[in-house]
Structure 1
Amino acid sequence: MKPDDHLFLRIADRLKALSDPNRLKILHALEHHEMCVSEIRDLIGGSQANVSKHLARMRQSGLLEARREGTNVYYRVADSTAFAVCRTVCDALESQAVTERDALARGRAAAGGQIR
């Protein structure tokens, strides 16, 4: 394995951890404060087992940290740079939507406003 290969594997692992809509919801929910598993489950829906699976995957990739308090496990964001990645993707999607909307408007104008 080349030295860069290990880095690329780590990057891919981090991006895979962000590649599920429920994991993105979890990340968003934890942006400003920690939450326990049941709070996260209530927020995103689904079974506790499924939510726990997502949380474990996110911990494994280094996105989240956990602490135990009595019978509850509380999760918090361990790497806030994930939000920058999400914002970059959102900005790109917004830019793409503007470009598509502008192209549609030009198409309408070229058709004499007949397209709705």
Structure 2
Amino acid sequence: MRVKIVRIYDKSYATVKAWAEPFKDEAPAIPEAVLVKFIERLSMYKYELIKNNNSLCEYLYSNSKYWSLKVQISKNEIAFTAPRTKSFNSSLVFECLQTASELCDTHNLAIYFSKDRDWIN
């Protein structure tokens, strides 16, 4: 079973859910242009496309197969996921947070860190 370590949403949703845990199904869609830019930049961070269908794209972090770190992209959520057994690895968590922070440097996206159950500015 995989767990979501970092979740990314449209900034407007983070404002509404400022003090509560987000839910993918109620989040608004991330603008298409923002998703396209995120995906373009993600490929520069050693993530390889492994799944692409109408509702979900999935990328695998290719720098460490041991972690099995993936990024799942849907119309209203971007999630960095890992197997539950690896989700406490400090290097993996650092990679998730660092990459998410660098890729969310626009004012359109907000990051939710599942481990601390808190939004990151």
For this structure pair, what is the TM-score category when the shorter chain's length is used for normalisation?
under 0.3
State the TM-score, normalizing by the size of structure 1.
Answer: 0.27
Q: Which has the higher strand share?
A: 2
Which of the two has greater helix per residue? 1
